[in-house]
Amino acid sequence: MNLSVSNVVRINPVVTVAMSVLNGGDQVQMAVRSIMEQTFVDWELLIVDDGSTDGAIEKLPFLNDSRVVVIRDGLNKGLSARLNQAIDIARGQYFARMDHDDVSHPERLARQVAFLDSNPETDLLATGCVTIGEAYEVNGCLPFAQTHMQICARPWLGFSMPHPTWMGRINWFKKYRYKDPAPYCCEDNEILLRAHVLSRYYALPEQLLAYRIREKTPWKKLWATRRAMWSVQREYFIMSHQWALVALSGIAMAMRVAKDICEQFDACVWRQRRVQPTESALKDWTLMLKKIKEEKRSAL
Protein backbone atom coordinates (compact mmCIF):
# COMPACT_ATOMS: atom_id res chain seq x y z
CA MET A 1 0.00 0.00 0.00
CA ASN A 2 1.45 3.35 -1.05
CA LEU A 3 1.71 6.08 1.56
CA SER A 4 0.91 9.57 0.31
CA VAL A 5 2.37 12.58 2.13
CA SER A 6 1.53 16.09 0.94
CA ASN A 7 3.71 19.14 1.70
CA VAL A 8 7.15 19.12 3.26
CA VAL A 9 7.83 21.20 6.35
CA ARG A 10 11.01 23.21 5.84
CA ILE A 11 12.37 23.21 9.42
CA ASN A 12 11.72 21.40 12.68
CA PRO A 13 8.80 23.15 14.41
CA VAL A 14 8.38 23.49 18.16
CA VAL A 15 5.01 21.70 18.16
CA THR A 16 3.61 18.83 16.14
CA VAL A 17 -0.20 18.74 16.23
CA ALA A 18 -1.64 15.32 15.29
CA MET A 19 -5.20 15.06 13.96
CA SER A 20 -6.57 11.69 12.91
CA VAL A 21 -9.53 12.13 10.54
CA LEU A 22 -12.19 9.63 9.51
CA ASN A 23 -14.95 11.22 7.43
CA GLY A 24 -14.75 14.53 9.25
CA GLY A 25 -17.34 16.27 7.06
CA ASP A 26 -17.69 20.02 7.53
CA GLN A 27 -16.49 19.76 11.15
CA VAL A 28 -12.88 19.10 10.14
CA GLN A 29 -12.61 22.52 8.50
CA MET A 30 -13.47 24.31 11.75
CA ALA A 31 -11.02 22.15 13.69
CA VAL A 32 -8.18 22.86 11.25
CA ARG A 33 -9.08 26.55 11.11
CA SER A 34 -8.70 26.75 14.90
CA ILE A 35 -5.10 25.56 14.53
CA MET A 36 -4.42 27.94 11.65
CA GLU A 37 -5.54 30.85 13.86
CA GLN A 38 -3.25 30.06 16.80
CA THR A 39 -1.23 32.98 18.14
CA PHE A 40 1.71 30.57 18.39
CA VAL A 41 2.81 29.90 14.81
CA ASP A 42 5.80 27.54 15.05
CA TRP A 43 3.90 24.28 14.51
CA GLU A 44 3.18 21.54 12.00
CA LEU A 45 -0.23 19.93 11.65
CA LEU A 46 -0.23 16.25 10.69
CA ILE A 47 -3.65 15.37 9.26
CA VAL A 48 -3.62 11.58 9.24
CA ASP A 49 -6.42 10.28 7.02
CA ASP A 50 -7.77 7.06 8.54
CA GLY A 51 -9.46 5.82 5.37
CA SER A 52 -11.93 8.69 4.80
CA THR A 53 -14.33 8.45 1.86
CA ASP A 54 -16.18 11.78 2.14
CA GLY A 55 -13.61 13.98 0.40
CA ALA A 56 -13.63 16.53 3.23
CA ILE A 57 -9.84 16.70 3.55
CA GLU A 58 -9.38 17.49 -0.13
CA LYS A 59 -11.76 20.44 0.23
CA LEU A 60 -9.79 22.10 3.04
CA PRO A 61 -8.71 25.64 2.07
CA PHE A 62 -5.48 25.40 4.08
CA LEU A 63 -3.57 22.73 2.19
CA ASN A 64 -1.23 25.19 0.49
CA ASP A 65 0.29 26.09 3.88
CA SER A 66 3.58 24.18 4.22
CA ARG A 67 2.88 23.62 7.92
CA VAL A 68 -0.11 21.41 7.05
CA VAL A 69 0.85 17.84 6.12
CA VAL A 70 -1.71 15.28 4.92
CA ILE A 71 -0.79 11.61 5.34
CA ARG A 72 -2.88 8.84 3.79
CA ASP A 73 -2.60 5.20 2.82
CA GLY A 74 -6.27 4.42 2.13
CA LEU A 75 -6.65 2.16 5.17
CA ASN A 76 -8.77 2.35 8.33
CA LYS A 77 -6.47 1.49 11.26
CA GLY A 78 -8.02 3.32 14.21
CA LEU A 79 -6.99 6.22 16.43
CA SER A 80 -4.16 4.57 18.37
CA ALA A 81 -2.41 3.31 15.23
CA ARG A 82 -2.71 6.73 13.59
CA LEU A 83 -1.38 8.56 16.64
CA ASN A 84 1.60 6.21 16.81
CA GLN A 85 2.18 6.88 13.12
CA ALA A 86 2.17 10.62 13.81
CA ILE A 87 4.54 10.15 16.77
CA ASP A 88 7.01 8.34 14.51
CA ILE A 89 7.20 11.15 11.95
CA ALA A 90 6.68 14.14 14.26
CA ARG A 91 9.36 16.83 14.01
CA GLY A 92 8.29 18.89 17.00
CA GLN A 93 9.82 19.10 20.44
CA TYR A 94 6.27 18.85 21.77
CA PHE A 95 3.47 16.59 20.52
CA ALA A 96 -0.12 17.85 20.74
CA ARG A 97 -3.49 16.20 20.15
CA MET A 98 -6.49 17.51 18.28
CA ASP A 99 -9.73 15.78 17.26
CA HIS A 100 -11.34 16.59 13.92
CA ASP A 101 -14.62 17.74 15.46
CA ASP A 102 -13.28 19.98 18.26
CA VAL A 103 -12.09 23.61 18.32
CA SER A 104 -8.90 24.94 19.93
CA HIS A 105 -8.76 28.36 21.58
CA PRO A 106 -6.35 30.72 19.72
CA GLU A 107 -4.10 30.84 22.81
CA ARG A 108 -4.03 27.10 23.41
CA LEU A 109 -0.64 26.25 21.89
CA ALA A 110 1.02 29.41 23.19
CA ARG A 111 -0.04 28.77 26.78
CA GLN A 112 0.84 25.09 26.74
CA VAL A 113 4.27 25.68 25.20
CA ALA A 114 5.01 28.44 27.74
CA PHE A 115 4.09 26.12 30.63
CA LEU A 116 6.13 23.16 29.35
CA ASP A 117 9.12 25.40 28.67
CA SER A 118 8.96 26.68 32.26
CA ASN A 119 8.24 23.31 33.88
CA PRO A 120 10.65 20.69 32.53
CA GLU A 121 9.48 18.12 35.08
CA THR A 122 6.02 17.99 33.45
CA ASP A 123 5.71 15.21 30.85
CA LEU A 124 2.11 15.67 29.76
CA LEU A 125 -0.09 18.77 29.92
CA ALA A 126 -3.85 19.07 29.42
CA THR A 127 -6.25 22.00 29.70
CA GLY A 128 -9.79 22.66 30.77
CA CYS A 129 -12.59 22.19 28.22
CA VAL A 130 -15.96 23.66 27.46
CA THR A 131 -18.39 21.27 25.78
CA ILE A 132 -20.35 22.08 22.64
CA GLY A 133 -23.33 20.51 20.90
CA GLU A 134 -23.98 19.72 17.27
CA ALA A 135 -24.78 23.37 16.48
CA TYR A 136 -21.58 24.62 18.17
CA GLU A 137 -23.43 26.02 21.17
CA VAL A 138 -21.60 25.94 24.52
CA ASN A 139 -23.53 23.63 26.88
CA GLY A 140 -21.16 22.82 29.74
CA CYS A 141 -17.60 21.84 30.60
CA LEU A 142 -15.69 18.64 31.34
CA PRO A 143 -14.64 17.46 34.83
CA PHE A 144 -11.31 18.96 35.81
CA ALA A 145 -8.28 18.11 37.93
CA GLN A 146 -5.12 20.21 37.88
CA THR A 147 -2.11 18.74 39.67
CA HIS A 148 -0.55 15.31 39.16
CA MET A 149 -1.72 14.23 42.60
CA GLN A 150 -5.30 15.32 41.90
CA ILE A 151 -5.34 13.75 38.43
CA CYS A 152 -4.02 10.41 39.72
CA ALA A 153 -5.81 10.35 43.07
CA ARG A 154 -8.36 7.68 42.08
CA PRO A 155 -6.96 5.61 39.20
CA TRP A 156 -9.85 3.14 39.46
CA LEU A 157 -12.16 5.97 38.39
CA GLY A 158 -9.97 7.08 35.48
CA PHE A 159 -8.06 10.29 34.86
CA SER A 160 -9.62 13.74 34.33
CA MET A 161 -7.28 14.72 31.47
CA PRO A 162 -9.26 15.40 28.27
CA HIS A 163 -7.42 13.58 25.49
CA PRO A 164 -7.87 16.22 22.71
CA THR A 165 -6.14 18.84 24.89
CA TRP A 166 -2.93 16.90 25.44
CA MET A 167 0.48 18.37 24.74
CA GLY A 168 3.61 16.63 25.94
CA ARG A 169 7.26 16.07 25.29
CA ILE A 170 7.76 13.96 22.18
CA ASN A 171 10.18 11.68 24.05
CA TRP A 172 7.40 10.78 26.51
CA PHE A 173 5.09 9.75 23.67
CA LYS A 174 7.87 7.76 22.00
CA LYS A 175 8.61 5.98 25.28
CA TYR A 176 5.05 4.98 26.12
CA ARG A 177 3.20 5.05 22.77
CA TYR A 178 -0.47 4.11 22.44
CA LYS A 179 -1.50 0.50 22.86
CA ASP A 180 -2.37 -1.03 19.48
CA PRO A 181 -4.75 -2.73 19.08
CA ALA A 182 -6.32 -0.23 21.43
CA PRO A 183 -8.95 -0.88 24.10
CA TYR A 184 -12.28 0.33 22.79
CA CYS A 185 -12.64 4.13 23.20
CA CYS A 186 -10.23 4.33 26.15
CA GLU A 187 -6.76 4.45 24.63
CA ASP A 188 -6.14 7.66 26.57
CA ASN A 189 -6.88 6.19 30.01
CA GLU A 190 -4.83 3.11 29.16
CA ILE A 191 -1.66 5.10 28.50
CA LEU A 192 -2.28 7.41 31.48
CA LEU A 193 -2.71 4.43 33.80
CA ARG A 194 0.33 2.63 32.42
CA ALA A 195 2.60 5.70 32.66
CA HIS A 196 1.36 7.60 35.71
CA VAL A 197 3.75 6.21 38.32
CA LEU A 198 6.88 7.32 36.45
CA SER A 199 5.40 10.43 34.80
CA ARG A 200 4.21 13.87 35.81
CA TYR A 201 0.87 15.21 34.58
CA TYR A 202 -0.65 18.66 34.88
CA ALA A 203 -3.64 20.55 33.50
CA LEU A 204 -4.02 24.26 32.91
CA PRO A 205 -7.24 25.58 34.49
CA GLU A 206 -8.06 27.71 31.43
CA GLN A 207 -10.72 26.23 29.13
CA LEU A 208 -8.66 26.15 25.95
CA LEU A 209 -10.64 23.66 23.88
CA ALA A 210 -14.25 23.22 22.87
CA TYR A 211 -15.04 19.50 23.08
CA ARG A 212 -17.95 18.17 21.05
CA ILE A 213 -20.31 16.01 23.07
CA ARG A 214 -23.36 14.08 21.91
CA GLU A 215 -26.52 14.22 23.96
CA LYS A 216 -26.91 10.44 23.92
CA THR A 217 -24.45 7.67 23.19
CA PRO A 218 -25.87 4.33 21.94
CA TRP A 219 -26.17 1.78 24.72
CA LYS A 220 -24.02 -0.80 22.92
CA LYS A 221 -21.18 1.70 22.55
CA LEU A 222 -21.45 2.72 26.20
CA TRP A 223 -21.34 -0.90 27.35
CA ALA A 224 -18.36 -1.71 25.11
CA THR A 225 -16.49 1.34 26.46
CA ARG A 226 -17.22 0.50 30.10
CA ARG A 227 -16.17 -3.12 29.59
CA ALA A 228 -12.93 -2.12 27.85
CA MET A 229 -12.10 0.40 30.58
CA TRP A 230 -12.61 -2.17 33.33
CA SER A 231 -10.50 -4.70 31.44
CA VAL A 232 -7.62 -2.19 31.18
CA GLN A 233 -7.83 -1.29 34.87
CA ARG A 234 -8.21 -4.86 36.08
CA GLU A 235 -5.21 -6.04 34.06
CA TYR A 236 -3.02 -3.21 35.36
CA PHE A 237 -4.04 -3.57 39.01
CA ILE A 238 -3.61 -7.36 38.95
CA MET A 239 -0.13 -7.04 37.41
CA SER A 240 0.82 -4.51 40.11
CA HIS A 241 -0.80 -6.64 42.87
CA GLN A 242 -3.18 -3.86 43.91
CA TRP A 243 -6.04 -6.16 44.82
CA ALA A 244 -8.14 -3.52 46.57
CA LEU A 245 -8.08 -1.39 43.41
CA VAL A 246 -9.24 -4.38 41.36
CA ALA A 247 -12.35 -4.45 43.54
CA LEU A 248 -12.82 -0.67 43.47
CA SER A 249 -12.56 -0.57 39.69
CA GLY A 250 -15.23 -3.28 39.45
CA ILE A 251 -17.55 -1.33 41.77
CA ALA A 252 -16.96 1.87 39.76
CA MET A 253 -17.73 0.04 36.53
CA ALA A 254 -20.96 -1.39 37.93
CA MET A 255 -22.09 2.05 39.13
CA ARG A 256 -21.37 3.58 35.72
CA VAL A 257 -23.37 0.87 33.96
CA ALA A 258 -26.29 1.35 36.37
CA LYS A 259 -26.22 5.09 35.71
CA ASP A 260 -26.06 4.51 31.94
CA ILE A 261 -29.09 2.20 32.06
CA CYS A 262 -31.11 4.70 34.09
CA GLU A 263 -30.24 7.51 31.69
CA GLN A 264 -31.29 5.38 28.73
CA PHE A 265 -34.72 5.16 30.36
CA ASP A 266 -34.68 8.86 31.34
CA ALA A 267 -34.50 8.19 35.06
CA CYS A 268 -33.63 11.80 35.82
CA VAL A 269 -32.72 11.14 39.42
CA TRP A 270 -29.57 9.48 38.11
CA ARG A 271 -28.75 12.13 35.55
CA GLN A 272 -25.66 14.09 36.48
CA ARG A 273 -25.95 17.84 36.21
CA ARG A 274 -23.60 19.23 33.61
CA VAL A 275 -21.03 21.60 35.06
CA GLN A 276 -21.27 25.05 33.53
CA PRO A 277 -18.29 27.17 32.42
CA THR A 278 -17.53 30.50 34.02
CA GLU A 279 -19.34 33.54 32.68
CA SER A 280 -16.16 34.91 31.07
CA ALA A 281 -15.34 31.56 29.39
CA LEU A 282 -18.91 31.24 28.13
CA LYS A 283 -18.83 34.72 26.61
CA ASP A 284 -15.37 34.18 25.10
CA TRP A 285 -16.22 30.85 23.50
CA THR A 286 -19.63 31.98 22.25
CA LEU A 287 -18.02 34.87 20.38
CA MET A 288 -15.23 32.69 18.97
CA LEU A 289 -17.56 29.97 17.73
CA LYS A 290 -19.85 32.56 16.14
CA LYS A 291 -16.87 34.09 14.32
CA ILE A 292 -15.66 30.71 13.06
CA LYS A 293 -19.10 29.81 11.75
CA GLU A 294 -19.43 33.16 9.97
CA GLU A 295 -16.01 32.74 8.35
CA LYS A 296 -16.95 29.25 7.22
CA ARG A 297 -20.22 30.45 5.68
CA SER A 298 -18.49 33.31 3.86
CA ALA A 299 -15.97 30.85 2.39
CA LEU A 300 -18.72 28.74 0.81
Cis peptide before 181 (omega within 30 of 0): yes
Return the pLDDT at 261.
78
Residue type, 206: E
Residue 296 in this model has a pLDDT that exceeds 70: no
Q: What is the mean pLDDT of residues 155-166?
A: 96
Query: Is-contact 44 91, C-beta < 8 A?
Result: yes
pLDDT at 43: 98
Question: For the chain, what are the domain ranges?
Answer: 4-215+272-299, 216-265
Q: Topology of domain 4-215+272-299, per CATH?
A: Spore Coat Polysaccharide Biosynthesis Protein SpsA; Chain A (3.90.550)
Q: Which of 3, 63, 10 is nearest to 32 (CA)?
A: 63
Rounded to 5 degrees, φ, ψ at 155 are -65, -20
158: left (phi over 0), alpha (psi -120 to 50) or beta: left
Predicted confidence (pLDDT) at residue 10 exceeds the cutoff of 90? no
Question: Could you tell me whether strands 167-169 and 201-212 are parallel, antiparallel, or unpaired per DSSP bridges?
Answer: unpaired
Of 19-23, 69-73, 157-161, 213-217, which range is least confident? Answer: 213-217
Integer Cα distance of 188 and 124 in angstroms: 12
The whole-number pLDDT of residue 281 equals 87
Asked whether residue 268 carries a pLDDT value surpassing 50, the answer given is no
User: How far, in Å, are 18, 108, 110, 174 from residue 167 at the CA level?
Assistant: 10, 10, 11, 13
Tell me: pLDDT of 273 over 70.
Answer: no
Over residues 275-294, the pLDDT tens digits come to 788 888 889 999 988 887 77
For residue 7, what pLDDT band results from cuts at 50, 70 and 90? low
pLDDT at 237: 97
Portion of the chain with pLDDT greater than 90, in percent: 75
pLDDT band at 259; cut points 50, 70, 90:
confident
Per-residue pLDDT for 210 more than 70?
A: yes
Mean pLDDT calculated for residue range 262-277: 62
Q: Which of 189-193, 251-255, 277-281 has the lowest mean pLDDT?
A: 277-281
Higher pLDDT, 236 or 256: 236
pTM recorded for the entire structure: 0.92
Q: Residues 215-247: pLDDT tens digits?
A: 777 778 888 999 999 999 999 999 999 999 999
Quote the pLDDT of residue 134.
82
Q: Across the chain, where does the E strand assignment appear? A: 4-6, 15-21, 43-49, 68-72, 94-97, 103-104, 124-132, 138-141, 167-169, 201-212
**Once rounded to an integer, what is the mean pLDDT over residues 121-130?**
97
